[in-house]
Amino acid sequence: MRPSITATRESVGVCKRDVPGFDVSLECHGGQQVESLAVTQVFSEGEWAELKRDLALSRRQADVVEQLLMGHSDKQIARELQMSVPTVRTHLGRLFSRFGVEDRCELIVHVYTRFREQCQAFGCPRARG
């Protein structure tokens, strides 16, 4: 079976993307991510650092994405990063716009897709399979 990432959005239908090399399932209901994925479970410290550079994320944007990958809500992200909820939403909105995605599930899929593309381009061991 081919590993994949599947993201579904109940309120807007289904959004599916296969990304070879990953076996991750994301399910979103009304824009809320249900399954929690910690960055450290998927990316090594070096991979995450390289991915942040590749995505050209500012320090705060990277912090927000990392919290998002852990399954945190806007309120949880705000509390953890000591910023207001509107500031979290501003960061997310700018990230959605920059990467051409509509919600947090698509943003997460985009991050994993970019990582996979980077792996394939540089021949990392995860690209095999």
pLDDT tens digit sequence for 79-107: 999 999 999 999 999 999 999 999 998 99
**d(Cα 18, Cα 121) in Å, to the nearest integer?**
18
Better pLDDT: 117 or 59: 59
Find the DSSP H helices in 27-103: 39-42, 45-54, 59-69, 74-81, 85-99
| Domain 36-123, second-level architecture | Orthogonal Bundle (1.10)
Q: Do the beta carbons of residue 62 and residue 92 sit within 8 Å?
A: no
Q: Do the beta carbons of residue 74 and residue 91 sit within 8 Å?
A: no
